[in-house]
Amino acid sequence: MRSISIFGATGSIGQNTVDLIARDRSRYRVVAVTGGANIARLAQDAIRLNAEIAVTAHADRFEDLRAALSGSGVAVAAGEAALIEAADRPVDWVMSAIVGAAGLAPGFRALRHGGTLALANKESLVTAGPLLLAEARAHGATILPVDSEHSAVFQALAGEDIAAVERIIITASGGGLRDWPVEALARATVADAGAHPNWAMGQRITIDSASMFNKGMELIETREFFGVPPSRIETVIHPQSIIHALVGFNDGALMAHLGAPDMRHAIGYALNWPERRDLPVARLDLAQIATLEFRAPDPRRYPALRIAREVMETRGGAGAVFNAAKEIALDGFVAGRIGFMDMATVVDRTLDAMASQICLTSSMANLEEVLMTDHMARKTAWTQIAKMES
Ligand code: NDP
């Protein structure tokens, strides 16, 4: 029986993970499940999975969680320190699906036990990729990608020599605004940008998909995870979202990974690796799909891709600044303080302003430095938004 913990169990990735575990209950011993504000869902899943402990990140919600789990036999804890303590419980497999920088510390801590970290929290690789990989190496832990594109690359690389890889192509749907005239994008509302053509996801990641800040994060993630130079990493718009990524080899072969847009594929692959087991995902009917289209992303429409490339070249602290600035820019857009295309301007200006304060090219020494850079970048990004408003 495998022991597992799910960090961010109440979110979109977390719920897909819970679904897979619940279908095959007898194979797993669930140690910790964690969530944030959604106490009812956390309690319900802790009981459903017979977890040893349920943890909410919000210290002030301890009593609510305790009441919800009263008589269930599930232990209860709350607060950031409790999340770290939960990550200290050794297990074979951990899902890292907390959203944002809050996911970094529990993921780092879980690596100490040398098991497998299924990494959905892309912010960990973007902000602290080299540190995270070094921590995994130091403890003999395995990190498996959960982002569908990176899972696809990982699968295409199975049994291959990375030295024979000429290029990695990750696909992008192009988001909800991909067919809008470029000139109209500045007027896009939160509702316009928050509708995804293919994937059912939360509002924030859907808007990040329309701006391609999400794809920018994934380019950086690809660079950090697979150790391939930026010049060998490409993205192409593929409106059907059937091919998730392609790997090109030095003999001209291009290996594509195809699958229905369902995150349970990538989650299930990471859960069952190195085996493959049945997954409850739709099988593709290629004759019905009939056509797969591709087009190059227009740099005027997606400035986030240019910025991400600059960050991939700079490395050091630039990833932490990029991630923090794009989150604040998104907050500014959702709050109606800046327009859709202004998000890229905020990120550009934050990177410039931060480069004049700290050396962005130096490697991050530790997690504390990453979190400090993240904090400074958030303040700087808000300052840029305020300047744009005045
Ligand atoms: P959600 O917003 O749906 O869920 C986030 C989870 O994190 C929830 O369990 C939430 O709890 C918890 N959480 C929120 N804030 C905190 C905090 N401060 N401390 C601890 N826990 C917190 O996100 P997704 O599931 O969509 O994404 C999770 C990660 O996976 C992200 O990094 C995302 O980029 C990545 N990802 C997502 C994909 C997707 O299809 N959704 C695809 C690939 C990667 P609660 O809801 O109870 O407040």
Task: Check if the beta carbon of residue 224 is closer than 8 Å to that of residue 313.
Answer: no
How close is the Cα of 13 to the center of ligand 1, in Å? 7
Of 335, 328, 316, nearest to 379 by C-alpha is: 328
φ/ψ of 57, rounded to 5, equals -70, -15
Strand partners, 56: 35, 78
Choose one of 12, 108, 241 to mutate for the ligand 1 pocket test, by most ligand atoms within 8 angstroms of C-beta: 12
Element (H, E) at 172: strand 165-172
Closest residue by Cα to atom 18, ligand 1, is 102
User: CA 340, CA 193: separation in Å to the nearest integer?
Assistant: 8
How close is the Cα of 71 to the center of ligand 1, in Å? 28
pLDDT in tens, the chain (390 residues): 999 999 999 999 999 999 999 999 999 999 999 999 999 999 999 999 999 999 999 999 999 999 999 999 999 999 999 999 999 999 999 999 999 989 999 999 999 999 999 999 999 999 999 999 999 999 999 999 999 999 999 999 999 999 999 999 999 999 999 999 999 999 999 999 998 777 777 788 899 999 999 999 999 999 999 999 999 999 999 999 999 999 999 999 999 999 999 999 999 999 999 999 999 999 999 999 999 999 999 999 999 999 999 999 999 999 999 999 999 999 999 999 999 999 999 999 999 999 988 888 899 999 999 999 999 999 999 999 999 998
Domains and CATH numbers, the chain: 2-145 (3.40.50.720), 151-261 (no CATH), 316-389 (1.10.1740.10)
pLDDT of 133 reads: 97
Of 315, 330, 327, 332, nearest to 370 by C-alpha is: 315
Ligand 1 atom nearest to CA at 204:
2
Task: Check if the beta carbon of residue 30 is closer than 8 Å to that of residue 49.
Answer: yes
How close is the Cα of 162 to the center of ligand 1, in Å? 31
Of 320, 332, 333, 325, nearest to 304 by C-alpha is: 325
Of 208, 151, 160, 196, nearest to 327 by C-alpha is: 208
CB-defined site of ligand 1, < 6 Å: 8-14, 35-38, 57, 97-99, 102, 120-123, 147, 201-202, 205, 263
Question: DSSP per residue over 301-363, as a string?
Answer: T-HHHHHHHHHHHH-TTHHHHHHHHHHHHHHHHHTTSS-TTHHHHHHHHHHHHHHTTS-TTSP
How would you class 276 by CB atoms within 10 Å of its CB: exposed for 0-12, middle for 13-18, buried for 19 or more? exposed
Closest residue by Cα to atom 26, ligand 1, is 12
Structure tokens at 381: 């990004």
pLDDT of 108 reads: 96
How close is the Cα of 12 to the center of ligand 1, in Å? 7
Closest residue by Cα to atom 1, ligand 1, is 11
pLDDT of 77 reads: 98
Choose one of 80, 98, 221 to mutate for the ligand 1 pocket test, by most ligand atoms within 8 angstroms of C-beta: 98
What pTM, to 2 d.p., does this model score? 0.96
User: CA 69, CA 63: separation in Å to the nearest integer?
Assistant: 10
How close is the Cα of 98 to the center of ligand 1, in Å? 4
Q: Is 56 helix (H, G, I), strand (E, B) or coil?
A: strand
Taken in order 322, 324, 328, 330, the sign of the CA dihedral is positive
Ligand 1 atom nearest to CA at 16:
25
Task: Check if the beta carbon of residue 119 is closer than 8 Å to that of residue 96.
Answer: yes
Task: Check if the beta carbon of residue 48 is closer than 8 Å to that of residue 30.
Answer: no
Distances (CA, A) of 284 to 185, 271, 281, 287, 289: 33, 22, 9, 9, 8
Strand partners, 32: 53
Choose one of 205, 207, 262 to mutate for the ligand 1 pocket test, by most ligand atoms within 8 angstroms of C-beta: 205
How close is the Cα of 9 to the center of ligand 1, in Å? 8
The edge-to-edge listing of strands for the beta sheet with 254-258 is 233-237, 165-172, 243-249, 254-258
Element (H, E) at 53: strand 53-56
pLDDT of 198 reads: 76
Closest residue by Cα to atom 22, ligand 1, is 36
How close is the Cα of 123 to the center of ligand 1, in Å? 11
How close is the Cα of 187 to the center of ligand 1, in Å? 28
254-258 and 2-7 beta bridge pairing: unpaired
